[in-house]
Amino acid sequence: MKLFVASGLVFATSLVASATEPEQHAAWKDQGVIYLDHSLNARLHSVPVQAVHLSDGFWSARRKVTTERSLPTLLALLEEHGVVDNFRRLDGRPEIPRKGPLYTDSDLYKWIEAAAWAIASNETSEADKQMLRGDVESLITHIVAAQEPSGYLNTYFVGDKVHLRFTDLPHSHEDYCLGHLIQAGIAYYRATGSRRLLDASIRFADYVVENFGATKRPFVTGHPELEMALVELYRTTGDAKYLEFTRYLLSGVEKDRLKLKDADMRYMFSGKPFVSHTEFEGHAVRALYAASGATDYFTEAGDPAIRRTLDLLWTDLTTRKMYITGGVGSRSAGESFGDPYELPSEQAYAETCASVANVMWNFRLLLLTGDARYTDILERTLYNGVNSGMSLSGNLYCYRNPLASSGEKLRNPWYDTTCCPPNIERLFESLPGYFYAISRDGVYVNLYDNSEMDWHLEDGTGLTVSQATNYPWSGDVKVTVSPAHPAEFAVYLRWPGWASSAEVAINGQPIQTAAFRRGEYISLSRTWKPGDVINIAFPLQPTPMIANPRVADDYGRTALQRGPLVYALEQIDQNGVPLGDIFFRSSAPVTVEVRKELLGGITILRAPGSASEKLLSEEPLYTPMPAVPTRNKRPVILTFIPYYAIGNREPTPMEVWVPLSRFDGPPVAQTAGNVEHHF
């Protein structure tokens, strides 16, 4: 390992830069979504996408439709709307007009990144891999041909717009497009070993690093993204100049030279020192990308001021500004965070990209610390706020993800700003790399689903870990641990924060868990032998949730959650009773019903409720309190479906937070009815 010293900080460089060509060829196979093998501050090391196979289960189904339906249909739409032609016109076809907003290059780069992780995946068929690789190679040919000798590459700032390059950094998205180019190049390199796109991204990154900086032209990330990309480029190449430039970006030293306005800096969440932030504000995606980049930088450089800022921001997000689905960004104006506890349901923006960013940030915090509270937020957001962003059919998308609607169409195949579809695709395709991690003393099981990891411990001992489960519909998980030979290490199993208890047994012998609490990892240290079996069981009862009373929209209402899944009512399931007339009875039991034929196979919740005998829409708008009549109500049965499945049948009113028939305190957890449990 090489060490680089700058400004009193010590950085470890990757071994890739000094490796021989054969070693370089092998190195790409060992690099995960985030490559941390030489990171000084990371507690956990990620596992390559290639090392994990997701078998039949919840996430394999979502990933299968992503590979077989989403990727090809989205590429066809990118072609139809001229995004690919934007590169072809610079590759000898100038008669083609440029189409789309100035940031469309990034959409194609994200699609390539998603395709790269699909190529790396064990679940993708060889035929699909060959098709995707052919598509990507063709796209790379056009991209590389469009790159100028200087390294500059952007299809918008050409021709009569050349003079505008890097003149409006808060709005031009040139930095954003470069960041996604770098990430696409790295992903394709890690999937195939091909450096063509990676080398193109390095040429553009070098152009920026060589021409901008504290003693050169000023630079700022108008849409933070480049910070993450440059740190990952440093990890991939070992060239510390990319890490140094990231430090410059986070330092926020260019406010005066660039004449940045305070409003612009709040919106961008950049332009001033990152460590000056105490809360999230402005554009939600930009803010979370900035936090993700700062986390990456801290993982390498260890600046304690950045760590304090990250802790402040995480607390602000999770205690004051995040929806129960993990969605973030409550205001449509500026796609931005609102004030603390400003979390309206029907007006919620909760952009899919912001949920993706929430997962990415918490994954980085998890790998940095090994703390399960970050995995809890990652899981909540992944199953709900992200998963709702793509239809079950794989070709319709939500840009915003409200928690209530009057029946508008939420899903569409295309948006003029089409950032969300390829963003959710790149996350789903890279998901195997999130399931497991390796630490100095063992292996972490972060997420539960049918899967197998074929990798090794830190000391090189081969290790296979497999799961058999019906999670998230069941809380029972069977984990088989098979080291290449008997070895002493720890297996860390996450006890989700939503689970009231955890029962654990090794080879049939119960293990005491009193030393652990929910929301933590259960550490099982012993000499493991091939074929050792861990059984873990989490109770999966439907749980009515209430919000902090300061969340005005949710006061006097409850939301149902079961395991990691948040549930919602859709009008179509309520036997003609208007949602506005429905009340939840907190004292009545909620039952569980498996519906294999509904919405791809789901577990629904059936809850006793009540509805007004007289439609509330027929009552006066205002009534003096003494004259309020006692409303006659009739019993009804409410049918809840998982929130991620909303909007997959027909446009229909929907709500997550349901009024309580009598709000006399927090509702109690309910007892589950019959539900199938099987491996």
List per-block mean pLDDT (blocks of 10 residues) for the chain, which spans 679 residues.
Answer: 40 42 64 95 97 97 98 98 96 86 98 98 96 98 97 97 97 98 98 97 98 96 98 98 98 92 94 97 98 98 96 98 98 97 97 98 98 98 98 97 96 96 98 98 98 97 98 98 98 98 97 94 98 97 96 96 98 95 90 96 96 83 71 89 97 96 50 39
Q: Return the C-alpha torsion angle 291, 431, 137, 224, nearest 10.
A: -10
Q: Which amino acid is at 630?
A: T
Q: Which of 490, 481, 426 is nearest to 132 (CA)?
A: 426
Cα distance between residue 610 and residue 269, in whole Å = 46
Annotated domain spans of the chain: 2-282+397-436, 440-537, 550-659
Cα dist from 365 to 45, 385, 574, 592, whole Å? 12, 19, 41, 34
Torsion-angle region of 304 (φ positive above 0: left; ψ -120 to 50: alpha; else: beta): alpha
Q: Which residues does 284 contact at the CB level (< 8 Å), separation at least 6?
A: 328, 329, 335, 336, 337, 349, 351, 354, 357
Q: Which residues does 308 contact at the CB level (< 8 Å), separation at least 6?
A: 275
Contact predicate 673/591, CB 8 Å: yes
Helix (H, G, I), strand (E, B) or coil at 2: strand
**Per-residue H/E/C for 42-85:** CCEEECCHHHEEECCCHHHHHHHHHHHHHHHHHHHHHHHCCCCH
Q: Which CATH class is domain 440-537?
A: mainly beta
Question: Residue 134: is it exposed, middle or buried by C-beta count within 10 angstroms (0-12/13-18/19+)?
Answer: exposed
Run of H or E residues at 109:
helix 104-120
At 420, give phi and psi (nearest 5°): -70, -45
Residue 516 has what pLDDT?
95
DSSP state of 322: B
- Cα 260 to chain centroid distance, Å, stands at 30
Cα distance between residue 82 and residue 85, in whole Å = 5
Write out the DSSP string of 454-517: EEE-TTS-EEEEEEEE-TTT--EEEEEEEESS-EEEEEEEEE-TT-S--EEEETTEEE--TT--
Contact predicate 352/386, CB 8 Å: yes
Angle at which helix 420-430 crosses helix 71-80, to 10 degrees, equals: 150
Q: Return the C-alpha torsion angle 616, 619, 622, 628, nearest 10.
A: -90
Residue 23 has what pLDDT?
45
Cα distance between residue 362 and residue 374, in whole Å = 5
Cα distance between residue 650 and residue 186, in whole Å = 40
Tell me the longest C-alpha to C-alpha distance in the chain: 86
Contact predicate 585/599, CB 8 Å: no
Write out the DSSP string of 604-621: EEEEEEEEESS-GGGS-S
Helix (H, G, I), strand (E, B) or coil at 366: helix
Q: Are strands 442-445 and 487-495 parallel, antiparallel or unpaired?
A: parallel
Using the CB atoms, write b or e for 610-631: b if 16+ within 10 Å: bbbeeeeeeeeeeeeeeeeeee
Q: Which of 519, 518, 38 is nearest to 232 (CA)?
A: 38
